């Protein structure tokens, strides 16, 4: 019951913020992934209440939630490094790549978890409080491109990412969606 209440509060907060990252990520993935959608193996890192999955219109939400609960304990206790390398067709992380959440070097773990030819979708905010983190993230993404590990297939800077909540910002803050294809 507590989980349901917390999910309701989280989803209500997200609705008030007009948080668009989950739908933007889902649209970007849909644009680029041309494989068998029914057979695709997808990892949603830091999935929260599953807003990205809802945007992808998965048929059986109950089955998805059960699967997520089973793997959440693994991810929380062992991290991505405990997963077999090259397991997932698509790896997505929405809303967690920011200061105080996950370290930038998680992108290498996302890469390792993805099959060759698979896609990694990442999002981050571009507001003032996150600019240093975003710069570090983009340096790491570029470094991995220079190492010829992956190629960028989409970078979208979005002005109306979510409603601003700090006193220093007004209206909406911006954010970015990155899609990389593992070579």
> Strand 88-93's sheet: what is its strand order?
42-45, 88-93, 114-125, 172-182, 150-163
CATH class (in words) of the domain with range 2-182: alpha beta
CB-based burial of residue 9 (10 Å sphere; 0-12 exposed, 13-18 middle, 19+ buried)?
Answer: exposed
pLDDT, position 74: 40
β-strand 172-182 against 114-125: which pairing, if any? antiparallel
Domain range annotation of the chain: 2-182
Render pLDDT for 2-60 as a digit per residue (tens, 0 to 9).
445 445 544 555 565 677 888 888 889 989 999 888 888 888 888 765 555 555 544 34
Render pLDDT for 60-71 as a digit per residue (tens, 0 to 9).
444 444 444 544
Q: Which two tokens stand for residue 103?
A: 């370290």
Render pLDDT for 109-140 as a digit per residue (tens, 0 to 9).
999 999 999 999 999 999 999 999 999 999 99
């Amino acid at each position: 019951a507590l989980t349901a209440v917390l999910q309701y509060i989280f989803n209500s907060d997200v609705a008030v913020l007009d948080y668009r990252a989950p739908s933007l990520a889902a649209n970007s993935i849909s644009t680029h992934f041309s494989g068998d959608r029914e057979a695709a193996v997808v990892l949603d890192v830091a999935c929260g209440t599953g807003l990205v999955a809802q945007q992808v219109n998965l048929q059986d939400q109950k089955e998805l939630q059960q699967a997520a609960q089973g793997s959440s304990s693994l991810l929380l206790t062992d991290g991505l490094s405990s997963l077999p390398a090259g397991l997932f067709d698509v790896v997505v992380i929405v809303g967690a790549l920011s200061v105080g959440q996950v370290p930038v070097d998680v992108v290498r773990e996302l890469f390792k978890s993805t099959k060759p030819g698979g896609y990694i979708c990442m999002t981050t905010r571009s507001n003032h409080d996150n600019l240093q983190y975003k710069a570090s993230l983009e340096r790491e993404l570029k470094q991995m491109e220079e190492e010829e590990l992956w190629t960028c297939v989409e970078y979208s800077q979005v002005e109306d990412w979510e409603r601003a909540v700090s006193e220093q910002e007004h209206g909406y803050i911006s954010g970015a969606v990155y899609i990389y294809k593992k070579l």
